[in-house]
Amino acid sequence: MEDSYKHRGMRKALIRILTEKGIDDHRVLQAINNVPRHFFFEKAFLEHAYQDKAFPIGEGQTISQPYTVAFQTQQLQIQPGERILEIGTGSGYQACVLLEMGAEVHTIEYNKVLFLKTKRFLPKMGYTPQFYYGDGSKGIPTQAPFDKIIVTAGAPTVPASLIKQLKRNGILIIPVGNNKKQKMVKLTKASENKLIKKAFDNFSFVPLLGEEGWG
């Protein structure tokens, strides 16, 4: 698939929409501008690639809305070289955005079909995060600690394992709520027993499954 002049123009238009919606971190916008989102879409659905909306990717899952990706990424304040854990690899789009920001990305997916598909597909685009298959609600203890953790599925509560696997001054961004809507929550680990919490608007994610998710 090619990344044509037309696709790049559509991406620029998407960046304008994200800016109007309040995304102002230039590095986040640049990263989104660098990832050809249409590569994640079947040919028949290409015109949906640069609309600001989530889209089905099979297995009852979705590629997140660009605004959501931008919002969560902006809250993480990613610095090059940081170790990031992403829970919910899905299509791999969010992982690509994190890689574009120079992060070392560890991404875990619970659905085997999506895990295998994305693990095969992303390197073809030149993106090589570390892929893991399993229940990310428990984090990845063998790879911890992480500078930042991003959860891209809706959780009933904040999993204790994720807080534990965060470095001091690390940031966790996670949607918390019921299976229809969730509040975006940002936790900063000021010290081993002090968390600074900030809650944002409602978002709508597919549920976080697994032991520390919905089961």
- Per rule CB under 6 A, is residue 110 in the interface with ligand SAM? yes
Residue of 179, 142, 184 whose CA lies nearest to 22: 184
Least Cβ distance, residue 196 to ligand SAM (angstroms): 25
| Binding of residue 205 to ligand SAM (CB under 6 A) | yes
Q: Is 88 in the site for ligand SAM (CB under 6 A)?
A: yes
Q: Which residue's beta carbon is nearest to the bound ligand SAM?
A: 88
Q: At what angle do helices 5-20 and 26-34 cross, to 10 degrees?
A: 150
Q: Should residue 111 be labelled a site residue for ligand SAM when binding is judged by CB under 6 A?
A: yes
Question: Exactly one of 36, 129, 136, 177 binds ligand SAM (CB under 6 A); which one?
Answer: 136
| Non-local CB neighbours of 195 within 8 Å, separated by 6+ positions | 163, 187, 188, 189
Contact stretch for ligand SAM (CB under 6 A) within 16-24, 30-38, 71-79, 201-209:
201-209
Q: Give yes or no: 161 in active site.
A: no
Element housing 174 (H / E): strand 166-177
Asked if 154 touches ligand SAM (CB under 6 A), the answer is no
Q: How far is CA 122 from CA 39, 99, 131, in A?
A: 10, 11, 10
